[in-house]
Structures are given as C-alpha cells and as structure tokens.
Structure 1
Amino acid sequence: MNSICEVEGVYAAGIKEKKYGLALIKAKGTAAAVFTKNKFMASPVILMKRRIEKGFLEGIIVNSGNANVYTGEQGMKDAERMAEIAAEAFSADPENIGVASTGVIGRFLNMEIIEDQCRRVSKDLGHDEKSEENAAKAIMTTDLLMKTALCRREGFSVAGIAKGSGMIAPNMGTMLAFLYTDAELTADELKRALLTASKRSFNRVVVDGDTSTNDSAFLTATGLKGKVDYKEFCGALEEVCTTLAKQMAEDGEGATKMIEVRITNAPSEEDAEVIAKTIVGSPLVKTAVYGEDPNWGRLIAAAGRAGVEFPPENVTVSISGENGKKTVLLAKKGEILADNKYHPEALAEAKALMHGKKVIFTLDLDYGGFSATAWGCDLTEKYVEINGKYTT
C-alpha cells in the first residue's frame, strides 16, 4: 500500500475512534493547494486559502467527523487552534501548518477530542506503511476503502492519500487529498501543476452532483531528491491524482459500479470535459447503469443538453465492459445499431457488458481532435439510505 511514506521526508500517523478521526502528516517544503468553490467554505478552508499564499508548509492536521462549517468566529478560532496543537507536535510554526476537516456541517468541533487525539497520535509519527495506513483510515467518513496512490519516476516519487465517497461533484467533491513529492520545485511550479492535475482528475468525478464545503487538495515538495524535469513531474502528479479520483468514483456512496465516460474528437478539451461530466452526472444514466440497462438514449440526451456545439449526426456511441477489451457499437452517425427490433443481439451484448464492476461509455463527436474522460458511479437505494440518515 505504500505511497506517501515512500516519499522522502514524509511522516504520518492517525487514529480513528468511532466517527472521530485525526491524522497528522509531517513534511517540510514548498507547497500549494486548491480548494472548494462552494460559497459556504469551511473555516479551515478560509484559513488555509490565506496561509497557503506564502507557499510553504511544515505539516498538516486533519480531523474527520465534523466539517467545521457555518461555525462563525468560534469555527475560525478552532481551525487556528488545530494548527497550534499540530505545530506543538511538529515543533513548527503554526502559520506553516495545513488544516483540513471533514464530516457533518453545522456542528462545533469538540476540541477536547482533537487535542487528546493529537497528543496521543503524535507519538506514533512514522515513515512506514502502517503509519500511512493509520492516517488514511483516520480521514475516512462514509468511505469504505482507503485511497492511496504512488508514482515512481527516475530519481523522484509522487504520492498521495485521499478521502471521498459522497457529496462529490465538480469543482472537486467532498474530498480531501494530501499529495507529496521529494522532487525540488518552487511553490509557483507546484501551483501550476496542481491546478492542471486537479482539473483533469478531481474535477471530473461526479458521484451525486453536490459540491462540498470542505474540498481541499494540498501538495508539498520536500525537495530531498533535487531538481527534476518539470514536465515529467506534472505527468506523475496527474497520474497520482487520476488514480485517487478513480478510487473515489469506485467507492461512491452505495455504489455497485464505476462509470467511465470518454468523449473523443471534440472541438476542445473543455467541451469534451463538459459533456463527459454532464453524462456521468445524469441521474438517468446512473440508474440505467445500476439496472444494467443499456439505454443509450440517456447518454445522447445528456450530451445534447451539455451546452456544447456539435453536429448530432456525427456522433458514434459505444459501450465497453470492465476490462475494456470488448466494445459494442450502440449508434453510429444517425444509424441505430442496438435496439429490440432490428439489433437485439447487440443490445443483449451491451447488457452483458454491464454485469461487471465498471462500465465504459465512449462518445466520438467527430468534430475536432480533443478528448476528456470523467468518472462516476451508479445511483442505488443504498445511497438514499446512507444520506437519508446521515446525522440521525
């Protein structure tokens, strides 16, 4: 499972006690971050949007079980206090500590629990797999699976842990991501790379269409492996972020299947992205996937309302199964290729491809040379059950 603790200079620890968890990650270096665009930003987000501008961190503290949102002056004091108690554990400056929270909105933090957990867990900071596992578990809320990723390159590594399962939609979801590299990079270089990587990964995941108040992705470079090729670093970072994004889609609340939507030959990457996210976010598409119903009409209906200009008569629609090896054409440039009356065998093959854990839809617009992919999951009764009783 090793990921962030394979990056030189990164130490982690964590604890989870019922719904309350706390993680500490100690790593000193240049840093950047991206945050939610929800107007009701969590107190730690407001705090960190200001503090991250100096481009340097010595560590991060994260609590789960309480989002610290809509908590006013007290919430801001609590976020600042979280930085102070982590700074004490790290022997660092509180101004250089990243703070993140996740959990229920509209509740005040129980600072006694956070201080107690921090005091205990700080003794366990380690540069090993178990330490990382404890940190990854500590930040989980409705997540069923830990989310970790590692990309090794010649002379450096990029790695990350994340949480995210529900309230997932662009821009970012109810997700926290903590990314690390031992390459030497400036804060400006990190910020540019993180903006692009997030746009092509975290911002293309749609579980339920709700954007959270707490979304944060932090990137820290310890610099212990020296300077590297910037383009190669950007590729490694995007690979790590995409891996984490896919894991969030796979672990969507109540999900039984992951959905991948690929848009090809679009007028621009932005246009392809908009269409892909519109399709993967459609409740009708999500429920069709859950029912293993190859109702491809829902795909073109969603694409058609995405607000992108393209000739509908150019579009080809296909479906692939879990391993992507077998593909069935559903419609091609105005010709129906899968229906009950004339092409029942193609419809049956398409339905069979939906039996696995992953369904891939591809729409070739034949109207340009750009592409984009988005990820999501099916919509099930379990999702309603989880969120219908979330606070009670």
Structure 2
Amino acid sequence: MNDFAVMWDWLSFAVRWLHVVTAIAWIGSSFYFIALDLGLVKRPGLPEGVHGEEWQVHGGGFYHIQKYLVAPASLPEHLTWFKWESYSTWLSGFALLAIVYYAGADLYLIDRNVLDVSAPVGILISLASIGLGWLLYDALCKSPLGKSDTGLMLVLYVILVAMGWGYTQLFTGRAAFLHLGAFTATIMTANVFLIIIPNQKIVVADLKAGRKPDPKLGAQAKQRSLHNNYLTLPVIFLMLSNHYPLAFGTRFNWIIAALIFIIGVLIRHYFNTRHARKGNPHWTWAASAILFVIIMWLSTAPAVLTGERRLSAAEERFVASAHFPAVRDAVMGRCSMCHAAEPGFEGIHAAPKNVRLDTDADIAAHAREIYLQAGRSHAMPPGNVSGMTEEERRLITAWFEEAR
C-alpha cells in the first residue's frame, strides 16, 4: 500500500510537470502570435492579399513575417500547424484533475458541509459543469451577440463570475477554484479544436481545390483566439491557487476569482496596446495593484463584511500571551489536520464537533478545551496520531494557566 501511495504521488508530480511544460508551450505561442498580429505594419509593395508584415530579430538572426488576411494564392509544400500545444495542455490538465480530485474526491473534491453527495455524484457534477461551459459559450458566440466583441466579453465575464460562485456551493474551496480554471481552459481548448483549426482546414481545402476561401472563417477564428488571449492569465492564477489557501479558503473566494479575471484583462490590455503601438497604458498596472490589494484584504474575511464577532477580553489575553506563537504552531501542526475548514486527514470530511482551530481567533475561543484535552490530558489528538510531544503539552498548560 505504501509503495502504491508513493507511485501515485510520483505519477501526480509527473503529470503536473507535463501539464506545466505543455502550458508554457501553448501560452508562449499564443502570446507570440497575438503580439505578432497586433504589430503587423502595412507597407507599399506588399504581395497581393498580404495584410501586413513584421521584421523581427532573435537568436542572432532576422525574421521577415507576412500575414495573409484570408490565404495566399497557393500554399507552400510545408505548413506548420499550432494545435498540439493546446490539446496536450488540456489532456494533461484533465489527467491531473482525475488523479488528484477524482481519485481523491472524498478529500479534495467534496465538502459535505457544502453539498452532501457521494464521490461518483461529485465527479459527474464536475464533468457536466465543465462541458456545459463550452456549449453555453459557443452558443453565445454564434448568436447575434457574437457580433459585438465587447458585449460578448461582458456576458462571458458574468457567466464566469456566476460559475465561480456556483462552484463554491458545490465543492471544496480548493476544488472550486480549480474547476473554474478547468471550465475556462476547456472553452479555450475547444476554441482551438472545434473552431480555429477546423476553419483553417476548410481554408486549406478550398485553396487546394481552387476555391476562394470565406473571409468569415478567419474572422471567427481570430475572435476566438482573442478571447483565449484575455482568459489565459486568470486561468494560470486559478491553477496555481491550490497552493495558496488564502485565495481559495476564504468566505469571499468567488469575489477574489471575479477580480482576478479583471486583473488578467487589464494586464493583457497593456501588452496588447503596446504590441499594437498604440501607447503605454500604465494605468492598467496601477488598477491591477489596487485590485490585488483588495483581494488581499478580502482574503482575511474582514468583520466589517462578515459580521464576525470581535475577540472577548479573555480571548485577547490568550492571543497576546508570549506563549501563544509556540502554542499556535503546536495546535496548527498537531490538531488542525482535522480541526479545519478543509481537514487534511484521510477520512475526515468536516471538523469534529465543528471545532476549527485554523485561525488565532479559533484557538483563543477554544483555549479551555485545548487545555483540558491536550494540555492536562492526552485525550487529544486521538491516540496521539499526530505525535504531540510532552513539551508541547506543558507549553499549552502554561499558556492557559498564565492567560486565563
């Protein structure tokens, strides 16, 4: 069993590594072509059908690039397609989702205090919601609303915010953020697989058959590519968030996700504007910094918004004690694996008796229980499963008796 656990953990690490590598390849090529497209310059004397050209220098050499708005009169023998970067990123990401969140559904996916469902039902909800995103988005793009890039993006933003809130009503905070990222990334990859590449293949087939390609195909592919460009940075944040509980494990996590999408759009607007040689909108960085400060503030669930009570005078004495930092470390290390918003101990899905010990206020509020159960007796942790030392028990005793 131990060998299997080790192998499974290494499998997770290997797939995560693959996912990061393929994501770098996809994001890199996506950012490059958006920058190239925005930087094209129209000059006299360009070949017929050429929309613009760009001269670049890299690696000691010069590159002369020309873009045909629809297609050239004839195709060269060799044509490079950029698609496997996207496909590999999604496939490796889905594999990682299955390895971590589906195989470990009871621990990482389902929070029975949020929605009491079985692991198979939770997995089915996950799969259905991810697929729903693409169907809804594609229908919007093909509707009359799709003729307005701005209107479409605003509606898409509302949908993403709604899904962010919805996921927090279904899964653990960690899984909610991960699923919002998967929901968005699926839209992006489906854009490539079902729209961008098929449209390009139709254009190639028309050229080979001597037919004039439909310009609408290129315009549609360009719109989907632009959406992918603006969605990339928020997806990266959501995928990294599982390492940072202050992002996903707070009461306002869905609002944090909503603000992250705005920050991603602001940053991409800055670079897209620069690449298009239309100025340097430095205000986007200031706005992003302000929004991030708001996110940091929201992550602590301030009492002014939540209505949470203030510490009593006795609880303040416990927190102010010189022993408290060491007591907090002991409690966090020995007790909070079970007594937390999202317990990490295998088989524990909710904090026993709803006693949570993952904040200073929680520890102070339960000081007497900690003193009796873990200081004056060995009742906790059960069977001393987490290895609390006698020195830690003496420290808890001294802390309570001094501060009470």
Q: TM-score, normalised by structure 1?
A: 0.31
Hey, which of these two has a bigger chunk of strand by percent?
A: 1
Q: Greater relative contact order (Cα 8 A, min sep 6): structure 1 or 2?
A: 1
Q: TM-score, normalised by structure 2?
A: 0.30
| Greater C-alpha radius of gyration | 2
Hey, which of these two has a bigger chunk of helix by percent?
A: 2
